[in-house]
Structure 1
Amino acid sequence: MREFRFVVWVLLLAACSNDEPTSVLDDETYQPTPVELNIPAFFKSSIIDPVIPISNPLTEEGIVLGKKLFFDPVLSVDHSISCADCHMPHSAFTDTNVLSEGVNGALGSRNAMPLFNLAWNFDELFFWDGSASSLENQVFHPVPDSSEMANTWEKVVSDLESDSEYPDLFFAAFAEEGIDSLKVAKAIAQFERTLISGSSKFDKYLANEVELTDEEQNGLAVFLDETRGDCFHCHGNPNNPLWTDNIFHNNGLDSSFADLGLGKITGDPADNGKFKTPSLRNLAFTAPYMHDGRFSTLEEVIDHYSEGLQNSATIDPLMKKVADGGVRLTDKDKANLKAFLLTLSDEDFVNDPSFR
């Protein structure tokens, strides 16, 4: 709808008389249209609103541009893949591959993270290993990566400048002529901040719109019980709509590390094997799981915490039952925990036409 309004607006300007601006490029008073995020009511009562960078305010035109760039393969060296190829809307903006594929089938080393509720990432560290310092900064990483888009920013800018639409779209978004990598990053970050998931069955339960089954209720109890699931320390509780602490943990996947995670970024051995806690939202759509996609089902994830924990020098203290291999859930508690976790999946989000 935003794109439709923008096109109509440009056409109307073009139809004006000769003494009026014929496009946004000719309008010296032009400014992009400010926009506010559509924040769910429960978010507003539970966590503070996102802090939008002063250097990159949200605008209708910026979001339109960011969405177009996100779905356009122009960012890749051979124009074969876009951001959306690894972050697909119907999969909560991840993909179904164990490891994401770049141009010419090149394999990355990690599973693509889903994208939603990123505007509330208050520590401003992104990716599994925290290697990006802001939502804008994370856009810079995939373009030159040989296992992703394998491009150069010089070529990206050249391709965008020679396009029939992008120069006007960039001017509309930023009220100045010229295209550069920073504007690309800002526009995509604007679009990504609009990806808000807050309409799961559990959200509706909290709003007294639906009831949970007995299995789902027991699964929530398992989740919150320190002697059973003990999941809430890293993933929060019903008062945290993000369902993550956005912190880095070693959750006992391995006793030694081929991938150092946060440790590679900080250089601190105490950070080896630590990866960012993913949100538990939308698990129905985001398999496979973990930073390397090693678990193909939720049952495997639950089994890991129940009896598959591996000890190491940097194991998180929250993995209190590591000496026993895990929390040792009963089969019933495992099934109920899965039932609860699936209530956090948001059909409205993955089917929202404004995100496609």
Structure 2
Amino acid sequence: MKLANPGLVGVSLSLLVGSVVAGFSAIAVLSARENDSPLSPTALGEIARVEAEIDRIEAESMKRLATLPDNQVQRIELLGKLLLFDKDLSVNRNEACAFCHMPESGFTGPISEINKTTGAYPGSVRTRFSERTPQTHAYAPLAPVLHYNEGQGDLVGGNFWDMRATGRRLGNPAAEQAEGPPVDPTEMALPDIACAVYRATQRPYRALFESVWGAQAFAIDWPAGTENVCNQPGPPRADDPAPVHLSAADRGRAAATFDQMAQSIAGYEASHEVTAFSSKYDVVLAGKAQFTPQEQQGYALFRGRAKCNDCHRDGGPGEDPLFTDFTASNIGTPANPDLPYYAEDEPDAHGYVANKGGASFVDMGVGGFLANGHPLSQPSALDARWQPLAPPSRGRFQVPTLRNVDKRPSPDFVKSYGHNGYFKSLKEIVHFYNTRDVLPHCTPHDPREGTGCWPAPETSENMNTSKVGNLGLSDQEEDALVAFLQTLTDGFSPTQHR
């Protein structure tokens, strides 16, 4: 369901807070704000289920510490998995990285009710939401380091919707991406990268970490009060940007260890467990299965009249078929008025304002990163030489891989698509690509939205008009495209589909 008023959630929050003010003290107001949430009881129940599944996966992985593999690569993969499923690395010890990237949904958002409603996921501070829906981290380590391709006149590579995890420092965009969420106030919300290292020193995988990266990793003189500092949600005060007050040498050691934590996570993401190349498409490519007639028609359209392959490349000589060209594009996605981020324009219980633009916020994507960096988390330094590329990059978002685009735990599970989660099915987004410029713009509360009309784009700057908007496909051809996209789900077994 699309809400016509982006500020609707904010209005309800304001009314609730106003009623509390009338009868309680300021402290009670803050407490109410901390506990208030736009999430439904259904969503909260699904959150509890995912948290329990994270605990189960972590416990199973912990058992492997008793008999470690003697291969260092496998040790790094195990360490990365343990870090990825560790809820203690969030400020309230309730949110692991995997909360937004679970295997049953293709290592992206695992909560159907959230995908269907808010699109964005709550952070460790459960009343805080970011402005975007989670991307998959499967295949993410195969992205190139962000670079300018002069021939194309375009930036290529990086991780995140806005490419801000460039990989220029660590040589690995996925590792730099892993450094964003722990200190993003709307995600894991630690106030200092040193807090992630401090928490890791207390975890059962410490000895494994030291065996992989060296005993110096945690040889840090932690000041008194570190525990209290790390229990306070970020962001830190502007006059105290590194609130864990370490010596210069210990600060450098903590930063290096934080890098190694991120590199371990990227190592797990690159493992066969996550990046498997085991879809029906791969099996067909190997000559061990065949597409159905509908899937074959969809593949022909994908490479032909539908123009999908122009951006979601299925590979060339010497290339793995990753179904992205690692560039960015503005396909004209409408704003998603269900994002709670629009209502985060007032101080929360900790005095933090996530969205100073309120209901007028417009996500400028790559252009926003190139102009100003990201307001919530910036894991990679911005190359000032790229800032002139900001205006032509406004409104553009990274072309995502289509691998596992339909992976879901059950047929009725809802996935969301687009940088803001506006689209709720593959059929809907394929229909949008096909008819964006053909169907009229919707009026408020238009019942045809998503089928017979489309809202205006969130921003029309730099909008792709050559490959999206009027493909001339029939309804049956749209269905064929969806059928082909469903062949990109990992875990296909030819013997199970005979």
Contact map agreement 1:123 1:246 (CA 8 A) in 2: no
Tell me by how many angstroms 1:66 deviates: 1.1
1:8 is the counterpart of 2:156: no
Tell me by how many angstroms 1:321 deviates: 6.2
1:113 is the counterpart of 2:259: no
Alpha-carbon distance between aligned partners in 1 of 2:422 and 2:281, rounded to the nearest angstrom: 27
1:193 is the counterpart of 2:270: yes
Q: Normalized against structure 1, the TM-score is what?
A: 0.77
1:252 is the counterpart of 2:266: no
Q: How does 1:98-177 map to 2 (within 5 A)?
A: 98-105=119-126, 106-124=128-146, 125-133=158-166, 134-152=173-191, 153-163=193-203, 165-177=204-216
Q: How does 1:319-338 map to 2 (within 5 A)?
A: 319-320=465-466, 325-338=469-482
Alpha-carbon distance between aligned partners in 2 of 1:168 and 1:237, rounded to the nearest angstrom: 42
Q: How does 1:1-356 map to 2 (within 5 A)?
A: 6-8=65-67, 33-34=71-72, 59-95=73-109, 96=111, 97=115, 98-105=119-126, 106-124=128-146, 125-133=158-166, 134-152=173-191, 153-163=193-203, 165-179=204-218, 180-194=257-271, 195-225=274-304, 228-237=305-314, 239=316, 240-254=320-334, 258-267=362-371, 268-285=390-407, 287-309=415-437, 312-316=460-464, 319-320=465-466, 325-347=469-491
Alpha-carbon distance between aligned partners in 2 of 1:304 and 1:88, rounded to the nearest angstrom: 27
Alpha-carbon distance between aligned partners in 1 of 2:325 and 2:178, rounded to the nearest angstrom: 22
Aligned-pair identity in percent equals 32
Deviation per residue, 1:27-62 (Å, 9 max, x gap): xxxxx844xxxxxxxxxxxxxxxxxxxxxxxx2222
Q: State the AA in 2 paired with 1:264.
A: G
| Change in CA separation of 1:335 and 1:257 when aligned onto 2, cut-off 3 Å | farther
Contact map agreement 1:257 1:273 (CA 8 A) in 2: no
The residue matched to 2:181 in structure 1 has which SS? coil
Deviation per residue, 1:58-116 (Å, 9 max, x gap): x2222221110100101100100101111111111111431122113221110100111
Deviation per residue, 1:192-246 (Å, 9 max, x gap): 2212131111111111111111111111111111xx3111100113645101111
Q: State the AA in 2 paired with 1:135.
A: A
Alpha-carbon distance between aligned partners in 2 of 1:176 and 1:182, rounded to the nearest angstrom: 15
Q: State the AA in 2 paired with 1:339.
A: A
Alpha-carbon distance between aligned partners in 2 of 1:9 and 1:230, rounded to the nearest angstrom: 48
Q: State the AA in 2 paired with 1:278.
A: P
Contact map agreement 1:86 1:101 (CA 8 A) in 2: no
Contact map agreement 2:107 2:138 (CA 8 A) in 1: yes
- Matched positions, count: 297
Runs of 5+ in structure 1 lacking a partner? 11-31, 35-58, 350-356
The residue matched to 2:108 in structure 1 has which SS? coil
The residue matched to 2:215 in structure 1 has which SS? coil
| Change in CA separation of 1:150 and 1:214 when aligned onto 2, cut-off 3 Å | same
Q: State the AA in 1 paired with 2:92.
A: D
Contact map agreement 2:324 2:399 (CA 8 A) in 1: yes
Tell me by how many angstroms 1:123 deviates: 3.3
The residue matched to 1:182 in structure 2 has which SS? helix
The residue matched to 2:125 in structure 1 has which SS? helix
Contact map agreement 1:72 1:83 (CA 8 A) in 2: yes
Alpha-carbon distance between aligned partners in 2 of 1:339 and 1:348, rounded to the nearest angstrom: 14
Alpha-carbon distance between aligned partners in 2 of 1:207 and 1:285, rounded to the nearest angstrom: 21
Tell me by how many angstroms 1:117 deviates: 1.6
Contact map agreement 1:202 1:344 (CA 8 A) in 2: yes
Q: Normalized against structure 2, the TM-score is what?
A: 0.56
Alpha-carbon distance between aligned partners in 2 of 1:79 and 1:348, rounded to the nearest angstrom: 35
Tell me by how many angstroms 1:313 deviates: 3.7
Q: State the AA in 2 paired with 1:104.
A: V
Alpha-carbon distance between aligned partners in 1 of 2:285 and 2:424, rounded to the nearest angstrom: 29
Q: CA RMSD in A?
A: 2.5
The residue matched to 2:216 in structure 1 has which SS? coil
